[in-house]
Structures are given as structure tokens and as C-alpha cells.
């Protein structure tokens, strides 16, 4: 009897990032598709960008969604639109209430200077992420900085996601119900890829 295939994985990056956010070990995950943000067409809500991702990267019902930061928020919304096998959040949030209070207050200023804003949120930005920001669309970043604070959050009817989080995350302080805490900040997916992938392999079997 042939071995059963693992479920497909769809992995979404943070705001202003792309698949370069997921170095080395991440690329060893079986059946992993790394989704980059599509060209901005004026989407102003998390729901709209989630619909766009579904449209451009057909996600089957047996898929596992994995997302970091904004990618995790959009993955939550995708899970609410269509059935998925499992949702895994890596340094992300299930509602705007989990985001740093100061960032919620200051988010209207993010449209003026998104990189310094996110630097304040994430701490020191690796050179790779700086290059990703350089390649990203300012209109998309501005829209999403606003959208995340007007998102209603993960549909409460959805199963609880598996959560990996950095205990030093200043943008999204460690949630009370994180499944695994790593000695990292907001960019845990980039700075601790081996630990993240090891945990995800354990979860997906």
C-alpha cells in the first residue's frame, strides 16, 4: 500500500515580506506552498485580501494554513471562509485586541512611515526583511496597517489554532494560550526557523 501523502501546507508571510521570510528549514516542509502577496488592487480589508488569496492560490479543504504576523491574520480569515484541516500561527494574532495597545493607538501614523512603525513593533529588522520592504508595494502596506485594526478577528466557531510565539514579542505580546513559547521576538519565523519547523512537523505528524 503506498504511503499516505501529508496534507498540503500554505504558508503566508508577514506584512511587507515574502517567501524570503522563511529560510532554509522551512523549505524542507513537505508539500509546502509559500504564498507571496498579490499585486495590490485596492483591497482595504482583511476579508478582501483573504478572498484574493483564495482566488489566486486555490486552497483545498484538507490544507493546513500557516501564517506569521499579517499572514497569520489573513490565514485566520481564510479559515473562516472555507474549511481547512488546521491553522498554525507563528507570531500572529487572532484578534486586534492581542496587538500591542500603543500600536493600536498609533496605527494611523503607519501610513506615513510604515518601515519605522514596524521596526518599532518588531525590534531590530534583519537586512533580509529590509530588502523585502524595499520590494513591497507601499499602497498594500498602508492599507493593511489600517485593515488589521478593523478586522473582527478569528471566527469563534473555528477550532483553536496551534500557536508558536516569541516570548519577547513587542508587537503582539505573548498570548495566554500560546502552545509553544520560544526565546524570540516578533520575527520568530525568521530568527528561529529550526525550532518553528520542528514544532510544525510534530503538529502535522
Is the separation of the CB atoms in 125 and 149 below 8 Å?
A: no
The owner of cell 471566527 is 155
Q: What is the domain partition of the chain in residue ranges? A: 9-204
Count the Cβ atoms, other than its own, within 10 Å of residue 198: 12
pLDDT digits (tens, 9 = 90+) for 118-143: 544 444 555 555 565 555 677 888 88
To 10 degrees, what angle do helices 138-147 and 46-56 make?
Answer: 120
**Separation between Cα atoms, residue 106 and residue 165, nearest integer Å:** 23
pLDDT tens column, 65-93: 999 999 999 999 999 998 899 999 999 99
pLDDT interval class at 203 (50, 70, 90)? very high
Q: Which three cell numbers stand for residue 100?
A: 500591542
What local confidence, expressed as pLDDT, does residue 98 receive? Answer: 94
The per-residue b/e assignment along 90-126, b for 16 or more CB within 10 angstroms, e otherwise, is bbbbbebebbbeebeeebeebeeebbebbebbbbebe
198 CB-near residues (< 8 Å, 6+ apart): none
Fold of 9-204: Rossmann fold (3.40.50)
Q: What angle do CA 80, 83, 89 make, to 5 degrees?
A: 60
Gap between the Cα atoms of 9 and 165, Å rounded: 19
> Residue 164: what pLDDT?
98
Distance of CA 127 to the CA centre of its chain: 19
Distance CA 47, CA 143 (A): 12
Write down the pTM of the prediction: 0.87
DSSP annotation of 112 reads T
Average pLDDT on 190-204 reads 96
Amino acid at each position: 500500500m503506498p504511503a499516505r501523502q501529508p496534507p498540503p501546507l500554505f504558508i503566508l508571510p508577514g506584512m511587507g515580506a515574502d517567501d524570503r521570510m522563511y529560510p532554509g528549514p522551512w523549505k524542507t516542509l513537505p508539500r509546502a506552498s509559500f504564498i507571496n502577496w498579490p499585486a495590490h488592487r485596492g483591497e482595504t480589508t482583511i476579508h478582501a485580501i483573504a478572498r484574493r488569496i483564495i482566488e489566486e492560490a486555490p486552497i483545498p479543504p484538507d490544507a493546513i494554513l500557516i501564517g506569521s504576523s499579517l499572514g497569520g491574520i489573513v490565514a485566520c480569515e481564510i479559515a473562516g471562509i472555507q474549511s481547512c484541516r488546521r491553522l498554525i500561527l507563528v507570531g500572529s494574532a487572532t484578534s486586534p485586541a492581542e496587538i500591542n495597545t500603543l500600536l493600536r493607538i498609533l496605527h494611523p501614523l503607519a501610513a506615513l512611515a510604515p518601515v519605522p512603525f514596524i521596526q518599532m513593533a518588531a525590534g531590530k529588522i534583519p537586512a533580509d526583511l529590509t530588502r523585502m520592504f524595499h520590494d513591497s508595494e507601499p499602497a498594500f502596506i498602508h492599507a493593511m496597517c489600517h485593515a488589521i485594526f478593523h478586522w473582527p478577528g478569528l471566527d469563534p466557531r473555528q477550532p483553536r489554532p496551534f500557536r508558536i510565539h516569541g516570548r519577547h514579542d513587542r508587537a503582539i505580546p505573548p498570548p495566554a494560550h500560546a502552545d509553544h513559547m520560544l526565546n524570540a521576538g516578533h520575527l520568530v519565523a525568521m530568527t528561529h526557523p529550526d525550532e518553528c519547523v520542528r514544532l510544525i512537523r510534530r503538529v502535522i505528524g
